[in-house]
């Protein structure tokens, strides 16, 4: 580390490269593990929004759907601010009109969605697949927890 690096670090101008390494790895592994390419993720994002919009009016501008990884579990996180609810769901494939007004609510598709029975369960089903596993080889939650205590090595 040169003196200049050190000064930059002291002044908070530059992040240490180890931190950058961690952040970049976490991002790339989230995608590796879910085995989704960016185009598919984008398509899934559009379809999720379409379904949600049939039931509630959401603020498209501030919607955020992303993959996050923690402890070898990848989750799809969606933050969809709801403007107002619809009294009756729109028919499938109907045009979506953006309404005005706002209701302070947020719908989060997190890991809890995996146990739920709502349409968004589909979205979280990609979680917990390993980088190499195809859809058929996806790990079943709860059966292959990586945190299992190591038992003694047997010959």
73 with 110: CB under 8 angstroms? no
Contact call for residue 37 and another protein (CB under 8 A): no
For another protein, which is the closer residue by CB, 93 or 147?
A: 147
Contacts of 150 (CB under 8 A, 6+ apart): none
Q: Which long-range contacts (CB under 8 A, 24 or more apart) does 133-137 make?
A: 133/35, 134/35
Contact call for residue 155 and another protein (CB under 8 A): yes
Contact call for residue 141 and another protein (CB under 8 A): no
Query: Pick from 38, 132, 135, 142: which binds another protein (CB under 8 A)?
Result: 132
Contact call for residue 7 and another protein (CB under 8 A): no
Burial of 107 (0-12, 13-18, 19+ CB in 10 A): middle
Structural tokens at position 7? 């000064």
Site track 14-33 with another protein (rule: CB under 8 A), x = hit: -xxxxx-xx-xxx-xx--xx
Judged by the rule CB under 8 A, the positions of this chain that interact with another protein are 1, 9-10, 12, 15-19, 21-22, 24-26, 28-29, 32-33, 71-72, 130-133, 137, 139, 144, 146-155
């Amino acid at each position: 580390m040169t003196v200049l690096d050190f000064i930059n670090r002291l002044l908070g101008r530059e992040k240490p490269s180890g931190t950058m390494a961690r952040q970049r790895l976490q991002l790339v592994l989230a995608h590796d593990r879910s085995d989704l390419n960016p185009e598919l993720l984008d398509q899934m994002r559009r379809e999720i929004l379409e379904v949600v919009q049939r039931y509630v009016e959401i603020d498209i501008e501030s919607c955020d759907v992303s993959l996050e990884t923690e402890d070898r579990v990848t989750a799809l996180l969606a933050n969809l601010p709801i403007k107002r609810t619809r009294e009756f769901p729109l028919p499938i494939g109907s045009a979506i009109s953006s309404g005005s007004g706002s209701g302070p609510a947020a719908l989060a598709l997190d890991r809890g969605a995996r146990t739920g029975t709502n349409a968004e369960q589909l979205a979280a089903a990609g979680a917990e697949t390993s980088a190499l596993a195809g859809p058929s080889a996806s790990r079943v939650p709860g059966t292959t927890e990586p945190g299992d205590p190591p038992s003694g090595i047997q010959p």
